[in-house]
A and B are shown apart, each in its own frame.
Chain A
Amino acid sequence: MGSISEKYCIVGVGETPHMRPSGRTTLSMACEAVKKAMDDAGLKPRDIDGMTSYQFSDSCSSDSVAAALGIRLNYSHEILGGGTSTEALVGKAIGLIEAGYCKVMVIFRSMNGRSGVRMGGQAPEGPAPPVQARGYDQFAMHWGATSPAQYFAPLAMRYLRDSGATTEAFAEVAVAHRYHASLNPKAWFRTPLTIEEHQRSRWIVKPFRLLDCCLETDVAAAIIVTSRERAYDLRQPPVFIMGGLARSNLQTPGNRLFAMAGVSPKDVDLVSAYDAFTWTALLLLEYYGFCGKHEAPDFVKGGRLQIDRDLPANLSGGHLSEGYTHGVAMVIENVRQLRHRADDACPGWAEGKHSYDRKRGCRQVRNARIAVSMGEGGVPGAQLGSPADATSEMYTSALLLRGIWS
Chain B
Amino acid sequence: MSTETRRDFEIESARRAGKDRPSSRIDYSKLVIVPDPDTAEWWAGTHEHKYLVRQCAECGHKWFPPLPACSNCTSMKLDWFETRGTGIIYGYAVVTQPILAAFTAAVPYIIGLIDLDDCLDIRGVPVRVKGIVLNTEEEVGIGLPVRAVFESTDDPNIVVPHWTVSGDRPGCWRFAEK
Measured between beta carbons, the chain B residues less than 8 angstroms from A406 are none
Give A127's nearest chain B residue, CB to CB: B101
0 or 1 for each of B158-178: is its CB under 8 Å from A? (1 = yes): 001010000000000101010
The answer to whether A204 and B132 touch across the interface, beta carbons within 8 angstroms, is: no
Among B34, B39, B111, B142, contact of A150 (Cβ-Cβ < 8 Å): B111
Contacting A at CB under 8 A, from B104-121, are 104, 106, 109, 111-113, 115
Closest-CB distance, A355 to chain B (whole angstroms):
40
Of B35, B111, B132, B142, the most chain A CB neighbours within 10 A belong to B111
The reply on A134 being an interface residue by CB < 8 A is yes
Measured between beta carbons, the chain B residues less than 8 angstroms from A260 are none
**Docked complex Cα distance between A124 and B126 (Å):** 36
The answer to whether A130 and B32 touch across the interface, beta carbons within 8 angstroms, is: yes
The reply on B51 being an interface residue by CB < 8 A is no
The answer to whether A205 and B33 touch across the interface, beta carbons within 8 angstroms, is: no
Give A128's nearest chain B residue, CB to CB: B101
| Given A157-B92, A158-B91, A160-B175: A146 in contact with B100 (beta carbons within 8 A) | yes
**Docked complex Cα distance between A133 and B123 (Å):** 31
The reply on B71 being an interface residue by CB < 8 A is yes
Closest-CB distance, B97 to chain A (whole angstroms):
5
| Given A136-B65, A381-B65: A142 in contact with B93 (beta carbons within 8 A) | no
The reply on B24 being an interface residue by CB < 8 A is yes
The reply on A138 being an interface residue by CB < 8 A is yes
The answer to whether B96 and A204 touch across the interface, beta carbons within 8 angstroms, is: yes
**Docked complex Cα distance between A254 and B32 (Å):** 40
0 or 1 for each of B59-74: is its CB under 8 Å from A? (1 = yes): 0000111010001000
**Docked complex Cα distance between A132 and B36 (Å):** 12
The answer to whether A155 and B175 touch across the interface, beta carbons within 8 angstroms, is: no
0 or 1 for each of A129-151: is its CB under 8 Å from B? (1 = yes): 01111111011111111110010
Question: Interface size for chain A: under 10, 10 to 19, 20 to 34, or 35 or more residues?
Answer: 35 or more
Measured between beta carbons, the chain B residues less than 8 angstroms from A206 are 93-94, 96, 137, 175, 177
**Docked complex Cα distance between A161 and B140 (Å):** 14
0 or 1 for each of B82-108: is its CB under 8 Å from A? (1 = yes): 000000001111111111111110100
17 example contacts (A-B, Cβ-Cβ < 8 A) are as follows A121-B100, A122-B99, A122-B101, A130-B102, A131-B32, A136-B65, A140-B130, A143-B131, A145-B111, A150-B93, A157-B91, A157-B175, A158-B90, A204-B96, A206-B175, A387-B90, A387-B126
Residues in B lying within 8 Å of A, measured CB to CB = 24, 26, 29-36, 39, 63-65, 67, 71, 90-104, 106, 109, 111-113, 115, 123, 125-128, 130-132, 137, 142, 160, 162, 173, 175, 177
A141-B33, A154-B111, A161-B91 given. 14 additional CB < 8 A pairs?
A: A121-B100, A124-B104, A138-B36, A142-B131, A144-B109, A144-B111, A147-B99, A153-B95, A154-B113, A158-B113, A161-B173, A205-B111, A381-B130, A387-B115
Residues in A lying within 8 Å of B, measured CB to CB = 120-124, 126, 128, 130-136, 138-147, 150, 153-158, 160-161, 166-167, 202-208, 381-384, 386-388, 390
